[in-house]
Structure 1
């Protein structure tokens, strides 16, 4: 039951966060302008890049707490969490100081602002550092709650605070100080509040009270954490290299278009983010038990369900991006510029999204070096690829690079996982559990796109046709990959009901 509850809570949180961003964006554009929104996009990139300083400790804490619950070593896990809390506070202070010191250079020499003065940009960048520092411990305590199978508590906190932060920010911009500096001040306050609340919840879930500080215990987890740190560094560079290159080569307004497209495609994280948070501790626990039968069943059945939903949503964005943007932005010229970016980014993000299953399996098996090697190869391909395509085709080149990278990741990641971790995660997994849902969702999406273009319907009708095509694709995907009795068994498994022997995965 915890698996289903955690997945539902994580998905609800992802939906709420995406909806908040989508609803708030028109207000931010109206009150701040496109250049200021480009600064918000740069902040998101900076936030992601600086996650390399986490050194893989947050997922390490998740794995340690999940293992501790299975092996009766909760107190050692609690001690580790308390010790890392001190480390994270020190890193937060360092982040604020470093970003503030380089803010003038970024404002004058990196960001290509035209309407905003350099001083205002530098102030905004400095406030980004404060915001990052306030939010820095969130990942640690979220990871602790994930490992303790308390994702629902973290999700509820995130939803509540993000809603309050969005409404407060809009109110301040509308009736108070209409500046990008005010935006970051409000966001920093709510980020600090979220970190404090998650800290309290994590202490209660893990039982940190009374656990000693033990900095020597960091040596025990350092091997796994070091490799995870390498994965984090490579992964963050991989996911942000397009934005870093484009923020340097494009004017700030055009870069804002690319950021807007990535925001739309982030809707796919409604599925991918809660997937990892729910499955990582579950996979880790199954490895700790040695229950490979249940692990394989969860891996295969989970992939089929996830791939069907992910590809259906991705193809809706690919083929109906223009209609959806017209409805949302009410700006045909802007929609026309952003729609091709959304389509190509959606292809790339859906392919990388399905690889959360091999990635999670590698980490749960205690083999982060495979994830590091894969990330390193992808980064070595992505960096020259995005530079060449961006220099030649601008923002569209960055989106094309993601689509190409997605194909490479699927092929390389599947081969490595099947060869080095579990044989059931190799090529048979790709052909049986990924290819079938992909085709089942693609055919209705193509038909819906053809009908919309042939009849030249308006954006609302086109979006409706796209939605019906996505639902039809989900139906075909489920019917094509599950027998009725097996599908009922998967539902029972997710809800924690009794299942046949070997499939008890509550």
Structure 2
């Protein structure tokens, strides 16, 4: 029951976070302007890039706490958590200092602002560093709660604080100080509150509050953490190289268009991140017990359900991006600029999203080397691809690179996981558990898009047709992937009524 509850809570949190971003965006555009929103997009990119300084410690602490609970070493896990807390504080201070020192150069030589004064951009970048420092420990304590199977508590905290932060930010901009600097000050304050609350929840979940600091214990987890650090660095390069290149090549307004498309597609994380966070400790627990039968059942059935929902949503975004943007932003000139970006990024994100299953299995099995190898191979292809396409086609080129990355990841990552981790995670998994949902969802989406174009319907009607096509795709995906009796059993397990796998 705990797995179902944690996954439901995490998914609710993802939905809330995405809705907050979508609802708040028109207010930010109206109150701050497109260039200021470009700075917010740069902050999001900078936040992701600086995750390399995490050194793989957040997923490491998740794995250690999950193993500690299974083997009776809770006190050692509590000591590790306290020690890493001090490490994270030190890194947060370094981040704030480095970003503040680099702010004038970034404003003068990196960001291509036209209407915003250079001094304003520099101040905003410096405040980004403060905001990042305040939020830095969140990943550690969130990881601890994942390992302790207390994801629901972290999700509830995130929902509460994010909603309050968005309302406060809009209120300050509307009736207080209307500036990008004010935006980051409010975000920093709520980031600090978020970190403090999660720290208390994590310490309570792990227990052993009197556990000593033990910096020597870091050597025990350093090997796994070092490999995870390499994976994190490679993953950040993969996911952020397009944004870094485009922020340098494009005017800030055009970069804002690209980040707007990224924001729309980030709605797919409603499914991807909750599933990964909930399954990681569960995979680790089943591997500790050597219960490979239950692991295979969870891996296969979970993929089929997840891929069906993910592909249906992704294809709905890809084929109905124009009507969605028109209705949402009420800007008929902006929608055609952003819609092609949304389509390509959505397809690529769907492919990489499915690969959370092999990736999570690799980490739970203690094989981060495979994840790093996959990342290196993808980088060898992705870096020249995004540079070439972005140079020639601008924002559209960066979006196309996502589709290339997703397709390659599906093929290479599946082969590697099936060969070196678990045989059931190989080509059979890709053809039956991914291929069937993909075909079942893309066909109704294509039909819906053809109907909309043939009848020249309005944006609201197009969204309705796209929604019906997505539902039809989900129905076809489930019907093609599960026998009725099997689906009822899997649904019962998802709701907490666990039954043995056949």
User: Normalising by structure 1, what TM-score?
Assistant: 0.99
In the TM superposition, what is the alpha-carbon distance from 1:347 to its structure 2 partner?
0.6
SS in 1 for 2:320: helix
State the Cα deviation string for residues 65-98 of structure 1 (Å, max 9, x = none): 1111111111111110010000000000000000
State the Cα deviation string for residues 228-263 of structure 1 (Å, max 9, x = none): 000001101110000000000000000000000000
SS in 1 for 2:281: helix
In the TM superposition, what is the alpha-carbon distance from 1:382 to its structure 2 partner?
1.0
Q: 2: distance between equivalents of 1:494 and 1:333?
A: 44
Alignment of 1:466-485 (within 5 A): 466-485=466-485
Q: Check if 1:276 corresponds to 2:270.
A: no
Q: 1: distance between equivalents of 2:342 and 2:498?
A: 43
User: Normalising by structure 2, what TM-score?
Assistant: 0.99
Aligned to 2:99: 99
Q: 2: distance between equivalents of 1:191 and 1:498?
A: 38
Q: 1: distance between equivalents of 2:121 and 2:407?
A: 38
4+ residue segments displaced more than 6 Å: none
Aligned to 1:80: 80
Contact 2:74/2:208, CA 8 A, preserved across alignment: no
For the structure 1 residues 431 and 168, does the alpha-carbon distance in structure 2 shift closer, same or farther, using more than 3 Å as the test?
Answer: same
SS in 2 for 1:332: coil
Alignment of 1:289-304 (within 5 A): 289-304=289-304
In the TM superposition, what is the alpha-carbon distance from 1:495 to its structure 2 partner?
2.3
Contact 1:81/1:208, CA 8 A, preserved across alignment: no
Q: 1: distance between equivalents of 2:102 and 2:446?
A: 49
Alignment of 1:204-353 (within 5 A): 204-353=204-353
State the Cα deviation string for residues 203-252 of structure 1 (Å, max 9, x = none): 00000411111111111111110000000011011100000000000000
Q: CA RMSD in A?
A: 0.7
State the Cα deviation string for residues 163-218 of structure 1 (Å, max 9, x = none): 00001000000001000000000000000000000000000000041111111111
Contact 1:440/1:473, CA 8 A, preserved across alignment: yes
Aligned to 2:55: 55
Alignment of 1:51-450 (within 5 A): 51-450=51-450
Contact 2:35/2:253, CA 8 A, preserved across alignment: yes
Contact 1:88/1:136, CA 8 A, preserved across alignment: yes
Contact 1:64/1:77, CA 8 A, preserved across alignment: yes
Structure 2's unaligned 5+ residue stretches are none
In the TM superposition, what is the alpha-carbon distance from 1:496 to its structure 2 partner?
2.4
Q: 2: distance between equivalents of 1:444 and 1:238?
A: 31
Contact 1:100/1:126, CA 8 A, preserved across alignment: yes
For the structure 1 residues 242 and 208, does the alpha-carbon distance in structure 2 shift closer, same or farther, using more than 3 Å as the test?
Answer: farther
Q: 2: distance between equivalents of 1:81 and 1:314?
A: 37
Contact 1:443/1:473, CA 8 A, preserved across alignment: yes
Q: 2: distance between equivalents of 1:330 and 1:236?
A: 33
In the TM superposition, what is the alpha-carbon distance from 1:498 to its structure 2 partner?
4.0
Structure 1's unaligned 5+ residue stretches are none
Aligned to 2:41: 41
